[in-house]
């Protein structure tokens, strides 16, 4: 008989004594020799904590004394843990095993029908029926020996977890049929589904703990754990429970021998195992595609079981386990890059497997790339830290002196340290291609890659650049060669220009900062000579650096000082200097730059001045501060020579020789000290202003004499001051005298006569007042004279048009609605009120304004005009030519509203009154009034638009009244009326377009009133409607849009005009043109006209049909035939389709009567046409 190996192993696992009888090792499925418990393979060292070594060595003792239900864990992995688990279950003697060890029971079993060997073999057969029989035999035999049935069933159920574990060990977690083999055990052992699931969960937990106890994590374990889950057919909830159980058991076992403090050590083996448990758990849950909520719940359970860890801490510890795997993957990528065996997709799959996020991956990719850069440079992956720990670093420095001494010592040590020769460090051949491939595989952008290259190579480039710049500054290399060396080193180290620019700036700042730092030590102890010489060298060094950078052609360094010498940037070449240090150094340099001759005269050369400018840029001192330095140093001497010169000139008797001598003295100071013109003007200006004030106070009447004017001119020449620069002081000083002269010239008439204009111009010149200032003073004087004239006109206008009550409140804002004093509507000619007359006062104001040339005219364009040219010779023809003439626009610098002596409402009222008076006046002044309208409006401050609006309002009233009167008497405007309106248009200043619109508006108003009277009075005749319609057409008015008739009224007018014609037969189907003319004249569309006619025909035809039927009933056949003749006329409009519903007998009778009527004198074709129309209208069948 052949037995299944699996079944055999199951029975062997259930009884240690039985297994011994078969000389097989309990717990080893492959029948290998009996295994022994093994300790965890942790390497122990002399420095390892004693507790750790105790923990490692005590694992065997713990397993040998475990209770039957405890999990005895191995230290090698999941499979070994299962083997230990099987062994732990098999070492517990069950009642069944005990009875079988009894010789009596064996003998009794031998007498029984089923021998023990058969029972064991049958128990291992895969046949369920045979298994049942075998178990039955065993049960019978055992029962005979005193073992109950429940004990046998309990023993079978207890052996099932061992059988599950054994099958996993035998077939492996990745076996092809392991899942099915495990599922069959449920029925083989008669275990309920819930119990069987619990057993599988327990086995998973045992396996997981075994994996965790080996601190060496492997990526294959992730696949192994996934296969285990699949083999045991566990869902997410069961896996979560298994991990929680494993965590509790594992942490309990660990903390028996390892303290919590020791577990805080990240390098402790047990801490590493706990972190591995977290890693395996996190990956198992993620690969099981848990929801975020479920993941948080399950993982937090495990974290809590492993020492009350927080969720974030547990996740971070799991990440710490995953990262080394990915680091090894990156290292492998670097080593296999040339073979092409790796790509970015492989790394992506590794990240997914390990749970590495994109952010974490990028950081690791950058680090891996940096390591490869160093490798390609022939450097170790990690840069050695050479920082030494100062054993006295905790010692407190008591004084500032000690700090400075220590800093100085550090600087001296750094300066004495020889510069490392790194010129041999460069990239290997093919390094660029290798790094480019790695960058692509790692998915790094150019910015990240360039940064890592620069970070690795900057130090070596800097060494070369610093040494080269030092050589250039020392003069051993010219700038072109120096830049060539620096650029060559850049290419060797794969540095981009973008990186180079910032690094070059730093190098230059360092190179130029050294001499400035050295000079500062001299300046602080007032060593002027060393400071000056050192700054000269620093300026030369700066120029050398600028020349080197010119070879690079970088635009960023065009403003070299701004790029490298920012005093507010601590990293700049002068950023380490305090504000006091910078100004102290400049002050020393400035004073040393001033040269003193044998006679004590001071001077500054052009070269020294240029150097000071360069130094200001290096020290971050503004030009303004530099000028202040010069001003403070040389200002007193300049002031002294200028004051002496001004005093000498103002004494009078100024000669050319005096001016020349004074100029030479002033010029000598300016030349020696290289003073800027702006500084000289700042000193000379106040001196000249003082001289002007002095002359004004001593001149008779405040007007300078001819000699005084010449003195001021001499001062301006001496001090090189332009007249334009002193206009302001002359206006402020002598302006009141010019204002007084203008007022005197106005006299009593208020108009400056021609003979006074030349003296005024001469006065302006003597006073040194500018044209604009003179104009402003002139307008100010005229404004004072003009203001009372305007106030008088305003008061008279208010008195003229306001009531007594309104006058009492004249200073209020509300003047009332009634502007006419009488309180009545407008009256007088053309309905315009013209009471009162202030025209003479207004004309005086206009004359004052015009004759004093206040109006400013300026050309704003040109226009073409035709001019007649007389004949050249007698008898020749006169020619007409076209010429362009300028178009002027008038501006009014002084206005009534601008002077605030009249408000806008009163100003409009004054202009309205002036326009009305100019329009109605019949005296010889009428033309003058009309020509002055625009000028008066401008003086008041009204805009051209407002003046036209007022004129249009007046014109509207005139047009309305005149056109109404003319049309009421003549019915239409004739040529004479049009000429009159055109004349009014010109008088009121109304544009042609506006006048045409006003006339049209008035006509619309009149026609609208006529339409209302026509249509509302009753039923107009067709002739009246036609006459009204034709009248509107002749005037170009649209009845709907212009006259305002509604569509319904137009339809009604159309119906009223055509109905009598249709009834009488005057309008027939042949009258289409007549109907179209009426329809279009009324503004109706073709469809609307057809609808009106159809409705009208239908209504009329229905009435006629009723008459026909009625006449036939009464025997009035002749009358019926006459009505049918009318019906035929209506039918002709709609081609016989009148929509009648007539009884057939009536229709036939009527048609017969019509057919039998007297047709004599009627064309046969016409007869047939009328019959056909009637037949169709009555619905008579053919």
Check if the beta carbon of residue 213 is closer than 8 Å to that of residue 81.
Answer: yes
E strand or H helix that includes residue 934: helix 933-940
Give the total residue count for the chain: 1182
Q: Copy the structure tokens of residue 166.
A: 């054994």
Helices 311-335 + 344-354 axis angle, to 10: 160
Q: Residue 122's pLDDT is what? A: 35
Please, how many CA atoms are within 13 Å of residue 562, restricted to the half-sphere of its CB? 5
Q: Residue 992's pLDDT is what? A: 72
User: How far is Cα 619 from Cα 573, in angstroms, rounded to an integer?
Assistant: 9
Which among 519, 534, 508, 539 has a CA at the least distance from the CA of 614? 539
Phi, then psi, of 519 in degrees rounded to 5: -65, -35
Check if the beta carbon of residue 938 is closer than 8 Å to that of residue 896.
Answer: no
Q: Residue 1069's pLDDT is what? A: 72
Q: Residue 1182's pLDDT is what? A: 61
Q: Residue 335's pLDDT is what? A: 86
Range 721-726 contact pairs with CB under 8 angstroms and sequence separation of 24 or more = 721/681, 721/684, 721/685, 721/688, 723/768, 724/770, 725/681, 725/685, 726/688, 726/689, 726/692, 726/768
Q: What stretches of 214-343 show up as alpha helix (H) in DSSP?
A: 220-232, 236-257, 260-263, 269-287, 292-305, 311-335
Which among 1100, 1104, 1107, 1103 has a CA at the least distance from the CA of 1061? 1100
Phi, then psi, of 867 in degrees rounded to 5: -130, 145
Report how far apart, in Å, the C-alpha atoms of 1180 and of each of 1102, 1141, 1142, 1151 are: 17, 11, 9, 8
Check if the beta carbon of residue 1172 is closer than 8 Å to that of residue 1128.
Answer: no
* Residue 1025: how many other CB atoms lie within 10 Å: 21
CA 81 and chain centroid, separation: 63
* Residue 809: how many other CB atoms lie within 10 Å: 12
Check if the beta carbon of residue 738 is closer than 8 Å to that of residue 764.
Answer: yes
- Contact partners, residue 197, CB within 8 Å, separation at least 6: 234, 238
CA 54 and chain centroid, separation: 67
User: How far is Cα 772 from Cα 767, in angstroms, rounded to an integer?
Assistant: 14
Q: Copy the structure tokens of residue 57.
A: 């060595």
E strand or H helix that includes residue 595: strand 595-596
E strand or H helix that includes residue 883: strand 879-891
Q: Residue 938's pLDDT is what? A: 92
Helix then strand then coil, in percent of the chain rounded to 5, is: 70, 5, 30
DSSP calls for 1011-1057:
HHHHHHSS---HHHHHHHHHHHHHTT--TTTTS---HHHHHHHHHHH
Check if the beta carbon of residue 1032 is closer than 8 Å to that of residue 1007.
Answer: yes
Check if the beta carbon of residue 1133 is closer than 8 Å to that of residue 1097.
Answer: yes
* Residue 459: how many other CB atoms lie within 10 Å: 13
Task: Give me the residue label for tokens 């007249």.
Answer: 723
SS (H, E, C) 942-1011: CCHHHHHHHHHHHHHHHHHHHHHHHHHHHCCCCHHHHHHHHHHHHHCCCCHHHHHHHHHHHHHHHHHHHH
Question: pTM of the full predicted structure?
Answer: 0.47
Sign of CA dihedral 511, 515, 518, 520: negative
Successive 10-residue mean pLDDT values, the chain, 1182 residues: 35 34 32 33 34 32 32 57 85 47 34 34 35 39 46 67 89 88 88 89 91 85 89 90 91 89 88 89 88 90 90 88 84 84 85 84 89 88 52 54 72 63 87 88 88 88 90 90 91 85 86 90 92 92 90 82 87 90 91 82 84 90 83 84 88 84 87 83 90 88 88 89 91 91 88 88 90 92 92 86 71 46 42 56 91 88 81 71 85 93 90 81 79 90 88 74 67 68 66 71 72 75 79 76 78 78 74 78 80 81 86 88 84 80 85 86 85 83 69
Report how far apart, in Å, the C-alpha atoms of 158 and of each of 184, 234, 1082 are: 16, 20, 112
Check if the beta carbon of residue 134 is closer than 8 Å to that of residue 119.
Answer: yes
Q: Residue 7's pLDDT is what? A: 37
User: Helix or strand or coil: residue 884?
Assistant: strand
Check if the beta carbon of residue 750 is closer than 8 Å to that of residue 848.
Answer: yes
Phi, then psi, of 406 in degrees rounded to 5: -65, -40
DSSP state of 749: T
User: How far is Cα 1119 from Cα 1139, in angstroms, rounded to an integer?
Assistant: 23
Q: What is the β-pairing status of strands 602-603 and 595-596?
A: antiparallel
User: How far is Cα 269 from Cα 1151, in angstroms, rounded to an integer?
Assistant: 126
User: Helix or strand or coil: residue 1115?
Assistant: coil
DSSP state of 357: -
Cα 1056–Cα 1060–Cα 1065 angle in degrees, nearest 5: 140
Check if the beta carbon of residue 76 is closer than 8 Å to that of residue 221.
Answer: no
């Amino acid at each position: 008989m052949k037995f299944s190996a699996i079944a055999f192993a199951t029975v062997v696992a259930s009884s240690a004594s039985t297994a011994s009888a078969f000389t097989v090792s309990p717990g080893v499925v492959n029948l290998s020799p009996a295994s022994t418990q093994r300790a965890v393979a942790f390497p122990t060292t002399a420095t390892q904590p004693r507790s750790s070594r105790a923990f490692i060595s005590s694992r065997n003792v713990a397993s040998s004394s475990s209770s039957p239900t405890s999990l005895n864990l191995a230290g090698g992995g999941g499979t070994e843990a299962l083997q230990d688990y099987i062994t732990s279950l098999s070492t517990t003697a069950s009642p069944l095993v005990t009875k079988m060890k009894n010789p009596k029971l064996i003998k009794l079993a031998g007498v029984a029908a089923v021998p023990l060997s058969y029972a064991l073999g049958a128990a291992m057969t895969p046949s369920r029926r045979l298994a049942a029989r075998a178990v039955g035999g065993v049960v019978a035999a055992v029962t005979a020996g005193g073992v109950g049935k429940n004990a046998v069933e309990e023993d079978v159920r207890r052996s099932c977890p061992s059988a599950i574990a054994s099958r996993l060990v035998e077939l492996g977690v990745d076996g092809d049929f392991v899942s099915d083999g495990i599922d069959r055990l449920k029925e083989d052992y008669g275990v309920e589904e819930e119990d069987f699931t619990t057993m599988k969960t327990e086995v998973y937990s045992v396996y997981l703990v075994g994996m965790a106890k080996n601190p060496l994590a492997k990526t294959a374990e992730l696949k192994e754990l996934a296969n285990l889950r699949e083999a045991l057919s566990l869902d997410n909830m069961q896996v979560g429970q298994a991990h929680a159980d494993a965590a509790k058991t594992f942490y309990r076992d660990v903390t028996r021998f390892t303290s919590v403090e020791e577990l805080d050590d990240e390098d402790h083996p047990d801490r590493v195992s706990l972190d591995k448990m977290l890693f395996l758990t996190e990956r198992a849950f993620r690969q099981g595609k848990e929801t975020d909520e479920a993941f948080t719940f399950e993982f937090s359970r495990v974290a809590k079981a492993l020492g009350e860890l927080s969720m974030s801490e547990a996740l971070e510890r799991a990440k710490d386990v995953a990262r080394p795997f990915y680091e090894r993957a990156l290292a492998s990528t670097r080593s296999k890059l040339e073979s092409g065996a790796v790509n970015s997709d492989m790394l992506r799959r590794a990240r997914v497997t390990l749970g590495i996020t994109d952010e974490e991956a990028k950081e690791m990719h950058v680090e891996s790339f940096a390591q490869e850069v160093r490798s390609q440079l022939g450097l170790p992956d990690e840069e050695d830290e050479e920082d030494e720990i100062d054993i006295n670093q905790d010692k407190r420095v008591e004084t500032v002196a000690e700090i400075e001494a220590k800093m100085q010592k550090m600087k001296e040590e750094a300066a004495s340290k020889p510069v490392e020769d790194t010129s041999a460090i460069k990239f290997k051949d093919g390094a660029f291609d290798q790094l480019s491939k790695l960058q692509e595989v790692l998915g790094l952008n150019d910015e990240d890659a360039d940064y890592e290259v620069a970070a690795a190579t900057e130090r070596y480039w800097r060494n070369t650049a610093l040494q080269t710049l030092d050589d250039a500054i020392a003069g051993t290399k010219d700038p072109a060669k120096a830049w060539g060396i620096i650029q060559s080193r850049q290419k060797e180290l794969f540095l981009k220009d973008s990186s180079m620019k910032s690094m070059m700036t730093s190098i230059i700042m360092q190179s130029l900062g050294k001499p400035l730092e050295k000079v500062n030590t001299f300046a602080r102890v007032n060593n002027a000579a060393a400071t000056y010489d050192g700054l000269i060298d620093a300026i030369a060094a700066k120029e050398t650096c600028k020349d080197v950078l010119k070879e690079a052609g970088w635009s960023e360094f065009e403003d070299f000082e701004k790029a490298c010498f920012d005093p507010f940037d601590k990293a700049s070449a002068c950023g380490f200097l305090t504000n006091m240090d910078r100004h102290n150094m400049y002050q020393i340099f400035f004073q040393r730059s001033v040269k003193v001759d044998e006679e004590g005269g001071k001077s500054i050369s052009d070269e020294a001045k240029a150097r000071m400018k360069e130094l200001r840029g290096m020290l971050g001192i503004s030009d303004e501060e530099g000028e202040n330095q010069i001003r403070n140093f040389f200002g007193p001497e300049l002031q002294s020579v200028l004051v002496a010169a001004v005093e000498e000139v103002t004494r009078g008797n100024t000669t050319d020789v005096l001016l020349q001598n004074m100029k030479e003295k002033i010029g000598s100071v300016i030349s020696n000290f290289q003073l800027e013109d702006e500084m000289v003007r700042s000193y000379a200006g106040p001196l000249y202003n003082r001289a002007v004030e002095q002359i004004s106070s001593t001149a008779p009447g405040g007007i300078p004499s001819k000699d005084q004017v010449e003195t001021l001119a001499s001062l301006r020449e001496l001090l090189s001051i332009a007249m334009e620069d002193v206009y302001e002081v002359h206006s402020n000083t002598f302006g009141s005298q010019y204002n007084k002269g203008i007022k005197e010239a106005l006299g009593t008439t208020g108009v400056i006569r021609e003979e006074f204009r030349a003296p005024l111009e001469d006065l302006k010149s003597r006073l040194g007042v500018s044209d604009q200032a003179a104009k402003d003073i002139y307008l100010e004087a005229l404004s004072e004279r003009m203001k009372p004239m305007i106030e008088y006109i305003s008061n008279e206008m208010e008195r003229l048009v306001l009531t007594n009550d309104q006058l009492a409140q004249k200073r209020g804002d509300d003047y009332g609605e009634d502007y006419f004093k009488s309180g009545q509507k407008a009256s007088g000619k053309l309905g315009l009120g013209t009471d009162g007359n202030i025209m003479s006062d207004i004309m005086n104001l206009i004359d004052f304004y015009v004759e004093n040339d206040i109006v400013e005219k300026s050309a704003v364009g040109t226009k073409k005009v035709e001019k007649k040219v007389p004949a050249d010779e007698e008898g020749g023809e006169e020619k007409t030519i076209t010429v362009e003439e300028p178009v002027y626009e008038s501006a009014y610098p002084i206005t009534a509203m601008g002077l605030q002596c009249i408000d806008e409402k009163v100003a409009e009222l004054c202009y309205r009154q002036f326009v009305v008076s100019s329009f109605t006046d019949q005296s010889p002044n009428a033309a003058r009034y009309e020509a002055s309208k625009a000028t008066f409006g401008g003086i008041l401050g009204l805009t051209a638009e407002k003046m036209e609006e007022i004129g249009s309002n007046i014109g509207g009233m005139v047009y309305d009244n005149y056109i109404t009167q003319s049309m009421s008497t003549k019915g239409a405007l004739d040529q004479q009326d049009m000429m009159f309106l055109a004349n009014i248009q010109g008088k009121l200043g109304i544009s042609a377009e506006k006048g045409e619109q006003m006339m049209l508006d008035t006509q619309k108003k009149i026609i609208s009133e006529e339409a209302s009277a026509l249509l509302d009075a009753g039923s107009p005749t067709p002739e009246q409607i036609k006459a009204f319609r034709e009248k509107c057409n002749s005037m170009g008015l649209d009845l709907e849009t212009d006259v305002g008739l509604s569509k319904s009224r137009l339809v009604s007018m159309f119906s009223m005009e055509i109905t009598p014609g249709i009834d009488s037969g005057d309008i027939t189907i042949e009258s289409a043109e007549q109907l179209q003319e009426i329809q279009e004249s009324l503004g109706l569309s073709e469809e609307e006209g057809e609808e009106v006619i159809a409705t009208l025909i239908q209504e009329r035809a229905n009435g006629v049909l009723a008459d026909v039927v009625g006449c036939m009933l009464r025997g009035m056949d002749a009358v019926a035939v006459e009505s049918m003749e009318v019906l035929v006329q209506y039918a002709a409009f709609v081609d016989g389709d009148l929509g009648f519903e007539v009884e057939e007998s009536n229709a036939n009778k009527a048609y017969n009567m019509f057919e039998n009527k007297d047709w004599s004198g009627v064309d046969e074709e016409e007869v047939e046409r009328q019959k056909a129309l009637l037949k169709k209208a009555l619905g008579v069948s053919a």
